[in-house]
């Protein structure tokens, strides 16, 4: 099923990626081609098959409830583009 520009715009917003207006058309065509191609999976009879969400065949690994991490705000903030004191900062959000 081909994707139109409006759909691409909606998806791009969900993904928070700005797509310049003049690229929307071409991008929609590319995405439509890819989606059209993957749609051949509909041919496969998957009736009662359980989806393979996990590759590893093992029991779940767990941690003890002890504090073993954190306590290095300096390192955590070191790569931040904008910092005030010990906070990250972003453009103000109004609720």
**Block residue for tokens 């002890």:** 66
Report yes or no: 81 and 90 within 8 Å, Cβ to Cβ.
no
CB of 91 to other proteins, least distance (A): 5
* Widest CA span in the chain: 58
Q: Which residue number, 22 or 64, has a Cβ lying nearer to other proteins?
A: 64
14 contributes a contact to other proteins by CB under 8 A? yes
Told to check if 19 binds other proteins by CB under 8 A, we report yes
Q: Measured between alpha carbons, how far is 24 from 57 in angstroms, rounded to an integer? A: 42
Q: Which of residues 49-88 bind other proteins (CB under 8 A)?
A: 49-73, 75-82, 84-88
Q: How many residues form the binding site for other proteins (CB under 8 A)? A: 73
- Using CB under 8 A as the binding rule, whether residue 22 contacts other proteins is answered as no
CB of 45 to other proteins, least distance (A): 9
For the record, the structure tokens of 32 come out as: 């439509």
Nearest-Å Rg of the Cα atoms of the chain is 23
């Amino acid at each position: 099923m081909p994707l139109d520009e409006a759909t691409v715009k909606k998806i791009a917003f969900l993904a928070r990626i700005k797509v310049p207006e003049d690229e929307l058309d071409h991008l929609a065509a590319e995405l439509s081609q890819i989606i059209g191609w993957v749609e051949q999976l509909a041919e496969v009879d998957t009736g009662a098959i359980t989806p393979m969400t996990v590759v590893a065949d093992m029991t779940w690994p767990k941690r003890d409830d002890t504090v073993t991490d954190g306590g290095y705000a300096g390192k955590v903030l070191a790569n931040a583009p904008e910092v005030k004191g010990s906070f990250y900062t972003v453009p103000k959000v109004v609720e």
